[in-house]
A = this chain, B = another copy of it.
Amino acid sequence: MPPYDPSAFPPFAVTVDLVVLTVRRHALCTLVVRRGESPYQGRWALPGGFVRAEEDLGAAAARELVEETGLCAYDPASPPPVPSNGAHLEQLATYGAPDRDPRMRVVSVAHLALAPDLPAPRAGGDANSARWAPVEEILGKDEAAVAAAAEDGGPEALAFDHARILADGVERARSKIEYSSLATAFCPPEFTVGELRRVYEAVWGVSLDPRNFHRKVTGTPGFLVPAGGTTTRQGGRPAQLFRAGGATLLNPPMLRPEV
């Protein structure tokens, strides 16, 4: 083990990058911002920024989330995901290849945020410098391969290693809604079983049987609690409204159909 000499450490910059996912018009979308400066000037990138000197990593991610979306992050540990437009926020992974930023050594602690559908994004007031981009449009169908090859790829490719980060975030979201109640983070505070099912269908890119899905989610204790009212959103029998229940782990899990 090398001697622990605090005065001789290599200089690093530490940033947080955000994979903010939402479901819009039956498609899984992510927030991207237009880069105003070199390198990768004019290209789309994940939102992010430097961690401040006295700031925790999670706090930096929450601050960036507010700055980019106005979304308030809630702590996954606190039982009730109370606020009306809160977003789930969790650490994703850390990316620190020596050459990932040509200017200097930057280590980025990526975070994953899941949000309900929102109005148009705001990025420092500049409207067309931020957008919700369909994940499929950025990563293509074969996500793993594209993400690996996308760096320095075509003009639609994300800056830096952000395609890889996005692919990892999407994969995390896809697997985590299997065995947790996280899919409710894509829904408004009150939602119907059909809306929740369309979240699963959009995130997984599959079709699910509405009848079996209904039985599954309403039959799992603590997953959903009735909110009282009913709604008619699109011609048909009105649906009951639910809120996310206290249960965070889904046992047995929701089964993702084979492709």
Contact = CB atoms under 8 A, between A and B. Distances in A.
Contacts of A50: 2, 4, 9-10
A6 B96 contact: no
Task: Give how many copies assemble into the complex.
Answer: 2
Interface string A1-17: 11010100111111000
Interface string A82-122: 00000000010111111000011101010000000000000
A5 B41 CA distance: 15
Contact of A57 (B11, B13, B53, B94): B94
A97 to B, nearest CB: 5
A222 interface: no
Interface in A53-89: 53-57, 64, 67-68
A95 B95 CA distance: 14
A56 B1 contact: no
Contacts of A68: 1
A49 interface: yes
A54 B6 contact: no
A10 B109 contact: no
Nearest to A37: B4
Nearest to A13: B9
A8 to B, nearest CB: 8
Given A14-B96, A52-B10, A94-B91, A57 B1 contact: no
A176 to B, nearest CB: 11
A14 B14 CA distance: 9
A56 to B, nearest CB: 5
A10 B93 contact: no
Contacts of A53: 10, 98, 105
A56 B6 contact: no
16 contacts: A1-B47, A1-B49, A2-B50, A4-B49, A6-B103, A9-B50, A9-B104, A10-B14, A10-B52, A12-B14, A12-B51, A51-B96, A54-B98, A57-B107, A96-B109, A107-B107
